[in-house]
């Protein structure tokens, strides 16, 4: 099904099942521990051996020798695979560094081998007997030092590296009110609960991998490419995923080393990356240095906006696209954005929840707060004053925002309208709900015992992406509808919203729908990432269900256009048959996909929100504790308010971590992230998170898909950290532009102790 004109009324609009806050259909499996995660498929290969990954002890250089003698002789060892005996390996399209390093080492904890043994303990003990000698090379590990050597990166997900509209330099120079500041965000790690884990089973030249991966088709493609075997010989199965946050978008070392280990040991092999490897072996969100300049009239109309961002990555990597939202969020006739990319020999930088906007909003939304203060304006009114219904800076994009499409570019509109934009309504609703009028605009004036109290606000913004997604739908003679797609559920609720979609389309209750996900033998979906999963995967199911409705109508001898599907029956005029009868003993199957025209070029599809945060800062110690948080979101049709809320409050929690505690610490001498475990890389615990509220404004977006939905899971993180920072400023009068805002950055400026 091609979606190229705005959606009209369709079966989803009945909202009998879609839009209802139903519980997760996979909830009972998860709460009883019977949903099998990657490492737990004990039934598929009872004689599975265990692999333990060896990570490089240096960041850059060469392996001069590996002595395996002791390890090979250790109890239980079946095989050891290193670059020396792995055979020729390619590299996945979406991998920057090699997943199996050696002799050249590209980053710390790059995998240089896997030891396979009968038990996990034997594999681990033997891995510790492998003796590796290295020759260290000088590397680049310090973004601030490497910044000025940054080059203009190639255009990618975040659009071109540079944009310019009007004359920024002139407008900024002549602006009556000017503001300029530099902000920094640290490297961050996804830290999902379930580590990267895989079980690999070879049958002849065919490989099946039970794994934990957000993008099945990307994984299969890159695995085939890395091993140099046909794609058809690789199957990925990933039904449940214990969190990903972008860390599992790509093929990673666990999959490759399980497969190589299994080939060498001639046994199924399972590999889970040990926790310490998560930070330095896998991908991470890159640190940024961001410079923002704003010029405005005395009345507060922005006339000049500039946002520049520097980040680093391994050679051939990409930038953290921290300037992207600044092209779209606020009006202003004269503007420029620029991204520069330096070479850093840390592990590869890549997508983490809301890549680009999450980091960019951390800076931009403090800058907006600072400028509002300079102008003597309320920060909400300042933002509303500069709201826009068209995109202020829309560079000619690479062909499509569809990451899987190769469609030619249409004619370019420099200022397309937003399909929906309720930013002002988000602020107004939130202000009322949160009690914004109780905020004292003068910082450092509100106190509750030894707590300095502050309230802060920030906009939330994240684009909606449309991308092809396919599904297969089966109907059987019991009236059961089974959906199959390689879509993944990374804790987001995909199972549930897909079931709701199929139930709505086919006119059956939810318990008559079976959803099967995460298997590369199923039709290729959009996968989970970039908050594109919910809208696109359900739209693909919509398309397949439309085809199934036609097949049913045809079988029943009805005209498809006037058949109605309700209560497990199909009706036309005064004739009714049950779906079970229509399916017959052979059942019916339909498969289709959604693909998109250029509605996402005619209209800019984005999601908006407003974050409100109240903090207490301990007047003695500078510890910040969150007291209340609210997000108001406008993100198209909300397919399941319970799942959406869960996504948004989860994202707010992640944003709170980014604001207050999360940051990988770079050892700039030895080139690695020092705090590579969950004891030292701190993420929020329950005690850090107060009452969270998430509200969704009523919205349907007919340009996004037949579902009229948009992404929501990443919107929730964008802007949160800045709202916290702004609340800390309101509480203390201390402006911190360097995340995370830990107490040592406040201490010297807090009120004197008596």
Partner 1 sequence: MRPFTFERAKTPADAAAAAARHPDAKFIAGGTNLLDLMKLQIETPAHLIDVNGLGLEKIEATQEGGLRIGALVRNADLAAHHRVRRDYGVLSRALVAGASGQLRNMATTAGNLLQRTRCPYFYDTNQPCNKRLPGSGCGAIGGFSRPHAVIGVSDACIATHPSDMAVAMRVLDATVETINPDGSARKIPIAKLHCLPGDTPHIETVLMPGELITGVTLPKPVGGKHIYHKVRDRSSFAFALVSVAAIVQPDGTGRVALGGVAPKPWRVEEAEAELPRGAKVFTARLLAGARPTPENAFKLRLVERIVASVLAEAKGAQV
Question: What are the residue numbers of the active site?
Answer: 714
Considering the complex, state which of residue 344 and residue 513 has its C-beta at the smaller distance from partner 1: 344
**Among 472, 573, 490, 557, which Cα is nearest to 527's?**
490
Are 563 and 553 in contact by the 8 Å Cβ rule? The answer is yes
State the maximum Cα–Cα separation within the chain, in Å, rounded to a whole number. 88
Binder among 162, 682, 693, 738 for partner 1 (CB under 8 A): 682
Q: How far apart are CB 587 and partner 1 at their closest, in Å? A: 49
Q: Which stretch binds partner 1 (CB under 8 A): 63-71, 394-402, 597-605, 684-692?
A: 684-692
Does 449 contact partner 1 by CB under 8 A? yes
Q: Which stretch binds partner 1 (CB under 8 A): 77-85, 91-99, 544-552, 668-676?
A: 668-676
Does 121 contact partner 1 by CB under 8 A? yes
Considering the complex, state which of residue 148 and residue 744 has its C-beta at the smaller distance from partner 1: 744
Does 346 contact partner 1 by CB under 8 A? no
Binder among 550, 688, 693, 738 for partner 1 (CB under 8 A): 688
* Separation between Cα atoms, residue 736 and residue 744, nearest integer Å: 11
Considering the complex, state which of residue 329 and residue 666 has its C-beta at the smaller distance from partner 1: 666
Q: How far apart are CB 285 and partner 1 at their closest, in Å? A: 19
In the region spanning residues 597 to 626, those forming contacts with partner 1, defined by CB under 8 A, are 619-623, 625
Does 712 contact partner 1 by CB under 8 A? no
Q: How far apart are CB 549 and partner 1 at their closest, in Å? A: 52
Binder among 86, 125, 265, 583 for partner 1 (CB under 8 A): 125
Considering the complex, state which of residue 493 and residue 622 has its C-beta at the smaller distance from partner 1: 622
Binder among 6, 40, 62, 128 for partner 1 (CB under 8 A): 128
Distances in Å between the alpha carbon of 631 and those of 518, 638, 718, 719?
Answer: 31, 15, 10, 10
| Helices and strands (DSSP H and E) totals, the chain | 17, 30
Does 73 contact partner 1 by CB under 8 A? no
* Separation between Cα atoms, residue 739 and residue 482, nearest integer Å: 47
**Start-end of H helices in 572-718:** 579-583, 599-602, 641-660
Binder among 2, 450, 691, 749 for partner 1 (CB under 8 A): 450
**Among 483, 548, 480, 541, which Cα is nearest to 512's?**
480
Q: How far apart are CB 345 and partner 1 at their closest, in Å? A: 16
* Separation between Cα atoms, residue 515 and residue 498, nearest integer Å: 7
Question: Cβ neighbours of residue 479 under 8 Å, at least 6 residues apart?
Answer: 508, 512, 568, 578, 579, 580, 583
Q: Sheet containing 234-237: which strands, arranged edge to edge?
A: 77-82, 111-117, 49-55, 269-272, 197-203, 206-211, 234-237
Considering the complex, state which of residue 61 and residue 636 has its C-beta at the smaller distance from partner 1: 61
Q: Which stretch binds partner 1 (CB under 8 A): 29-37, 399-407, 473-481, 664-672?
A: 664-672
**Among 302, 393, 317, 312, which Cα is nearest to 359's?**
312
Does 754 contact partner 1 by CB under 8 A? yes
Does 136 contact partner 1 by CB under 8 A? no
DSSP 98: -
- N residues, the chain: 754
Beta pairing partners, 645: none
Q: Sheet containing 131-136: which strands, arranged edge to edge?
A: 104-105, 61-67, 131-136
Does 133 contact partner 1 by CB under 8 A? no
Binder among 43, 232, 698, 744 for partner 1 (CB under 8 A): 744
Considering the complex, state which of residue 23 and residue 667 has its C-beta at the smaller distance from partner 1: 667
Q: Which two tokens stand for residue 415?
A: 């200022």
Beta pairing partners, 237: 210, 519
Does 15 contact partner 1 by CB under 8 A? no
- Exposure on the CB side of residue 596, measured as CA atoms within 13 A: 32
Binder among 8, 148, 193, 753 for partner 1 (CB under 8 A): 753
Considering the complex, state which of residue 47 and residue 748 has its C-beta at the smaller distance from partner 1: 748
In the region spanning residues 367 to 426, those forming contacts with partner 1, defined by CB under 8 A, are none
Does 193 contact partner 1 by CB under 8 A? no
How far is CA 436 from its chain centroid?
Answer: 30
Q: Which two tokens stand for residue 358?
A: 């999450």
* Separation between Cα atoms, residue 697 and residue 309, nearest integer Å: 32
Q: Which stretch binds partner 1 (CB under 8 A): 77-85, 148-156, 399-407, 661-669?
A: 661-669
User: 195-232 burial, b for 16+ CB within 10 Å, e for fewer?
Assistant: bbbbbbbbeeeebbbbbbbbbbbbbbbbbbbbbebeee
Binder among 670, 693, 697, 700 for partner 1 (CB under 8 A): 670
Strand ranges inside 368-450, DSSP E = 447-448
* Separation between Cα atoms, residue 570 and residue 62, nearest integer Å: 68
Distances in Å between the alpha carbon of 200 and those of 249, 277, 352, 419, 440?
Answer: 18, 20, 26, 45, 59
Q: Are strands 234-237 and 206-211 parallel, antiparallel or unpaired?
A: parallel
Q: Which stretch binds partner 1 (CB under 8 A): 289-297, 308-316, 528-536, 662-670?
A: 662-670
* Separation between Cα atoms, residue 37 and residue 270, nearest integer Å: 12
**By rule CB under 8 A, what count of residues binds partner 1?**
42
Binder among 30, 72, 91, 124 for partner 1 (CB under 8 A): 124
Q: How far apart are CB 169 and partner 1 at their closest, in Å? A: 37
* Separation between Cα atoms, residue 13 and residue 418, nearest integer Å: 22
Considering the complex, state which of residue 42 and residue 669 has its C-beta at the smaller distance from partner 1: 669
Binder among 69, 119, 677, 749 for partner 1 (CB under 8 A): 677
Q: Which stretch binds partner 1 (CB under 8 A): 284-292, 376-384, 494-502, 677-685?
A: 677-685
Does 628 contact partner 1 by CB under 8 A? no
Q: How far apart are CB 311 and partner 1 at their closest, in Å? A: 21
Binding string, residues 268-287; x marks residues near partner 1 by CB under 8 A: --------x-----------
* Ramachandran bin of 515, using left for φ above 0, alpha for ψ from -120 to 50, beta for the remaining angles: beta
Q: Which positions touch partner 1 (CB under 8 A)?
A: 57-58, 75, 121, 124-125, 128, 276, 449-450, 619-623, 625, 660-661, 665, 667, 669-670, 674-677, 679-680, 682, 684-688, 742-744, 747-748, 750, 753-754
């Amino acid at each position: 099904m091609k979606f190229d004109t705005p959606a009209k009324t369709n079966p989803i609009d009945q909202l009998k099942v879609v839009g209802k806050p139903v519980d997760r259909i996979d909830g009972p499996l998860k709460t009883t521990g019977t949903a099998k995660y990657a490492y737990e498929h004990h039934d598929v290969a009872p004689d599975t051996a265990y692999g333990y990954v060896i990570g490089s002890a240096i960041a850059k250089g060469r392996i001069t020798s590996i002595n395996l003698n002791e390890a090979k002789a250790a109890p239980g060892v079946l095989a050891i695979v290193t670059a020396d005996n792995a055979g020729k390996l390619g590299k996945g399209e979406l991998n920057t560094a090699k997943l199996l390093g050696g002799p050249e080492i590209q980053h710390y904890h790059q995998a240089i081998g896997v030891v396979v043994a009968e038990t996990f303990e034997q594999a681990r003990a033997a891995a510790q007997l492998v003796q590796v000698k290295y020759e260290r090379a000088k590397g680049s590990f310090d973004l601030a030092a490497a910044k000025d050597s940054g080059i203009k990166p190639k255009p990618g997900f975040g659009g071109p590296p540079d944009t310019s509209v009007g004359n920024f330099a002139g407008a900024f120079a002549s602006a009556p009110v000017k503001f300029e500041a530099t902000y920094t965000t640290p490297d961050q790690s996804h830290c999902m609960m379930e580590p990267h884990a895989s079980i690999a089973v070879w049958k002849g030249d065919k490989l099946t991998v039970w794994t934990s991966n957000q993008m099945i088709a990307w994984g299969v493609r890159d695995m085939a490419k890395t091993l140099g075997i046909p794609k058809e010989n690789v199957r990925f199965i990933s039904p449940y995923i214990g969190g990903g946050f972008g860390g599992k978008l790509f093929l990673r070392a666990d999959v490759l080393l399980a497969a190589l280990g299994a080939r060498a040991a001639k046994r199924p092999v399972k590999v889970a990356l040990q926790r310490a490897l998560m930070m330095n072996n896998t991908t991470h969100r890159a640190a940024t240095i961001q410079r923002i300049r704003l010029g405005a009239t005395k009345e507060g109309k922005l006339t000049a906006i500039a946002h520049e961002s520097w980040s680093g990555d391994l050679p051939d990597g990409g930038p953290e696209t921290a300037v992207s939202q600044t092209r779209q969020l606020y009006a202003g006739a004269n503007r420029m954005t620029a991204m520069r990319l330096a070479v850093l020999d840390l592990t590869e930088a890549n997508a983490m929840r809301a890549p680009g906007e999450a980091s960019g909003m951390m800076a931009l939304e403090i800058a907006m707060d600072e400028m509002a203060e300079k102008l003597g304006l309320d920060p909400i009114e300042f933002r509303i004053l500069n709201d826009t219904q068209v995109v202020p800076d829309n560079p000619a994009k690479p062909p499509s925002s569809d990451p899987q499409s190769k469609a030619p570019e249409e004619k370019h509109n420099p200022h397309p309208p937003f399909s929906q934009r309720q930013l002002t309504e988000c602020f107004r609703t939130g202000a009322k709900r949160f009690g914004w009028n109780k905020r004292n605009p003068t910082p450092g004036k509100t106190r509750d015992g030894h707590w300095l109290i502050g309230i802060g606000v920030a906009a939330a913004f994240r684009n909606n992406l449309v991308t092809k997604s396919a599904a297969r739908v089966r109907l059987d003679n019991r009236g059961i509808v089974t959906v199959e797609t390689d879509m993944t559920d990374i804790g987001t609720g995909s199972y549930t919203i897909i079931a709701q979609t199929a139930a709505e389309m086919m006119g059956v209750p939810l318990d008559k729908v079976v959803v099967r996900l995460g298997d590369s033998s199923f039709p290729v979906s959009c996968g989970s990432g970039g908050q594109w999963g919910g809208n696109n995967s359900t739209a693909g199911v919509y398309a397949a269900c439309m085809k199934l409705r036609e097949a049913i109508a045809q079988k029943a001898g009805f005209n498809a256009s006037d058949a109605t599907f309700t209560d497990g029956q199909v009706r036309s005029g005064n004739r009714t048959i049950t779906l079970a009868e229509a399916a017959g003993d052979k059942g019916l199957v339909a498969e289709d996909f959604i693909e998109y025209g250029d509605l996402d070029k005619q209209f800019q599809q984005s999601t908006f929100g407003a974050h409100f945060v109240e903090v207490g800062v301990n007047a003695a110690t500078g510890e910040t504790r969150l007291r209340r948080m609210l997000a108001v979101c406008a993100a198209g049709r909300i397919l399941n308010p319970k799942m959406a809320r869960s996504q948004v409050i989860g994202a707010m929690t992640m944003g709170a971590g980014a604001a207050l505690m999360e940051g990988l610490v770079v050892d700039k001498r030895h080139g690695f992230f020092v705090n590579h475990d969950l004891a030292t890389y701190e993420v929020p615990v329950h005690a850090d998170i107060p009452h969270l509220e998430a509200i969704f404004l009523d919205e349907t977006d007919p340009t996004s898909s037949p579902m009229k939905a948009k992404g929501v899971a990443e919107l929730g993180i964008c802007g949160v950290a800045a709202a916290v920072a702004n609340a800390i400023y309101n509480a203390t009068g201390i402006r911190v532009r360097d995340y995370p805002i830990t107490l040592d950055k406040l201490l010297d400026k807090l009120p004197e102790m008596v």
